[in-house]
Structure 1
Amino acid sequence: MEEIKDYLAGIILTILLALTAKAVSTYIPMHIISASVFALILGMLLNPIIKEIYIFNKGIKFVSKKILKTGIVLMGLTLSFSQVLSVGGYSLIVMTFTLMTAFGGGYLVGRLFNMNWKLSSLISAGTGVCGGSAIAAVAPTIEAENSDIAYAISATFIFDILMVILFPIAGRYLGMSDLGFGLWAGTAVNDTSSVVAAGYAFSDAAGSFAVIVKLTRTLSIVPIVMIFSIINARENRRLGIKENEQHEKVSIRNIFPYFILLFLVMVAVKSTGIISADLSNNIASISKFMMVMALGAIGLTTNFNEVSDSGIKPLFHGFIISSLVVIVSFTVQMFIGQL
């Protein structure tokens, strides 16, 4: 019972924040800024106050991690395999080019800025795959410094904040379809929470498509971590550095995003036809509200001043690579006719 009390205050706070964000968003013409974006921004504004009140900490952390993934898993009950496979197939084409851009461009920009390869690689991983999750997975593999991890997360996060606001506006201005926008957001926006916010700010259908694309993209974290493990070992040998016997070995079990499997299980259940349309719509509403809660929680744990103090070079690096990925994703879609 005591454990539940430890989490309750933070959970209630994120529920209230989500309700407030949804209420505020209804007053915005054409829903240009969604409840998810408002929850994120309100959370960041409240961070200086809330971070000093420790009773909220456990619940906020729980919502930012577990509730977001639970919301995505539940969303599987609103989709069929035919939708997932069609969107996932297109995303693989676009994703091939965006990953090449993130890592190839990241390497060149890193050399141009004379940045250490570990920091440059972390920014590329965050931009190309899935934001902070990819950075967290790659960092121990290449034995990155804590400062490099902080800089990389800051560089990708600031761009994500801008994209959550600007992507839906740009998508409407360009007259993009729901599928086209979902592909664009899912392949070009970094963190999963930001993809959710940007996708659903455009439309419910675009949000669903964006999440499918993002989950497909997240799976690339496994081979990428393995590749960087090899690169780091070769770099250590080149520099004459002995392998640290206590260095944690790469474990597929530790880095594999298992919630994606649960998402696919829910899609399989939906594909059987046993979930009625009304129930599916209700689940979709619950799923979206959980995501708004999670984005509010992420905002509550983010101090914008600390993020903005991370230095100029990593921010420029992240901005350049993220911009290139956005352009490449849009251009590839023009050629495959999915805009």
Structure 2
Amino acid sequence: MQQAKPTIHTPFKTLRAGRKSNRMLFIAAAGISLLPVIPPPAALLMGLALAQTIGNPFAAFTHKATHWLLQLSVVGLGFGMNLHSALQTGKQGFLFTVASIIGTLFFGILLGKFLRIERKTAYLVASGTAICGGSAIAAIAPVIKANDQQISVALGTIFILNAAALFIFPFVGQWLQLSQTQFGLWSAIAIHDTSSVIGAANKYGATALEVATAVKLSRALWIIPVAIITALLFRNSSKQIKLPWFIGIFLLAMLLNTYMPAVQHISSYLVQAAKTGLSLTLFFIGATMTRQALQGIGWQPMLQGILLWILISVAALTAIIIYT
């Protein structure tokens, strides 16, 4: 009787099987992050945990998907907002926005010189902290002709602080008993990326989410004048400035929800879909924070980002408590 030949697992086959299981695990975790019971911070933690264990088997895809998912999520949230209340909120946050952007850029440049950080890297970290995180870095980078290393260090610094903000800000807000409006203003000014602002404000309450979204998106428009000033500072004649076009679509969604009753009937479903998209976005962001990415940041840019973040957070919180 002929005996069956034993299955031989070559190193190549074992490696291929391991990669397949990693991909399946990643897809399953992404699916879990879409469940309504999974809050955005939990989705971020899942992505971060996978990044530290199996890595990111879809790194190229998640990098592109994060960009588009965030923009679509922001547009979807526009269907849950009213133009009149948004204008009132934007007025309230205007002075805070101007003062915080100017102050953050100024102190960011000073900290970069003090810590002896390469000039373009320090400026990207300061810009990301001052305006809207990764979007600002993506807009300013071509203006100053930053290379991939400088961009990745700045993005890594901002993303790590964004992840911390999702947990720290709601805790501090509840501890200080901030109102929904106060917390919305604070998170929009002191948290870098739109995704983390929305995630923290959504956790705090519906009014905080509306205030934070309106103020953060009006803040993002400052990319335009900051990019022009940056071109002058760095003596760069390049006209390659990436503007956040999705803000225009967000405004259109808000107009439709304000003036078209037919849209109001489905707006709640669109807002819920946007919040689900945000959870998946944060999962992908967490998945980009691999050990290699974290190790490549360096302590000086990270220290600059932390000190700058503490400065703007404390200053904005103090001003909000006093004047609102």
Residue 266 of structure 2 aligns to a residue whose secondary structure is helix
With over 3 angstroms needed to count, the CA separation of the structure-2 counterparts of 1:169 and 1:290, relative to structure 1, is same
2:285 corresponds to which of 274, 298, 304: 298
Superposed displacement of residue 11, structure 1: 11
* 2:43 is the counterpart of 1:39: yes
The residue that corresponds to 2:275 in the other structure is 288
Letter in 1 for 2:48: M
Matches within 5 A, 1:154-303: 154-233=156-235, 249-252=238-241, 255-275=242-262, 279-303=266-290
| Higher alpha-carbon Rg | 2
Residue 79 of structure 1 aligns to a residue whose secondary structure is coil
- Cα distance in 2 for partners of 1:41, 1:156 equals 16
Letter in 2 for 1:49: I
Superposed displacement of residue 190, structure 1: 0.4
| Structure 2 gap ranges (5+) | 1-23
Letter in 2 for 1:326: S
Residue 310 of structure 1 aligns to a residue whose secondary structure is coil
Aligned residues: 300
Letter in 2 for 1:167: F
Residue 43 of structure 1 aligns to a residue whose secondary structure is helix
Superposed displacement of residue 208, structure 1: 2.4
1:317 corresponds to which of 291, 304, 314: 304
Q: Percent identity, aligned pairs only?
A: 26
- Cα distance in 1 for partners of 2:89, 2:266 equals 23
Letter in 1 for 2:238: K
TM-score by length of 2: 0.85
Letter in 1 for 2:304: H
The residue that corresponds to 1:107 in the other structure is 109
With over 3 angstroms needed to count, the CA separation of the structure-2 counterparts of 1:99 and 1:150, relative to structure 1, is same
What does the per-residue CA deviation read over 1:164-196, in whole Å, with 9 as the maximum and x for residues that have no partner?
110001011111111111111011100111112
Letter in 1 for 2:45: I
Residue 130 of structure 1 aligns to a residue whose secondary structure is coil
* Consecutive aligned runs of 4 or more in structure 1 exceeding 4 Å deviation: 9-15, 275-278
What does the per-residue CA deviation read over 1:89-113, in whole Å, with 9 as the maximum and x for residues that have no partner?
1221111121122111112212221
TM-score by length of 1: 0.81
Superposed displacement of residue 335, structure 1: 3.3
CA contact (8 A) 1:160 1:191 kept: yes
Superposed displacement of residue 306, structure 1: 2.1
What does the per-residue CA deviation read over 1:115-136, in whole Å, with 9 as the maximum and x for residues that have no partner?
2322221110010011122112
- Cα distance in 2 for partners of 1:198, 1:41 equals 14
The residue that corresponds to 2:56 in the other structure is 51
Letter in 2 for 1:250: K
The residue that corresponds to 2:122 in the other structure is 120
With over 3 angstroms needed to count, the CA separation of the structure-2 counterparts of 1:223 and 1:13, relative to structure 1, is farther
| Structure 1 gap ranges (5+) | 1-8, 26-34, 234-242
- Cα distance in 1 for partners of 2:68, 2:267 equals 21
Deviates more, 1:130-139 or 1:277-286: 277-286
CA contact (8 A) 2:93 2:185 kept: yes
CA contact (8 A) 2:142 2:240 kept: no
- Cα distance in 1 for partners of 2:244, 2:275 equals 20
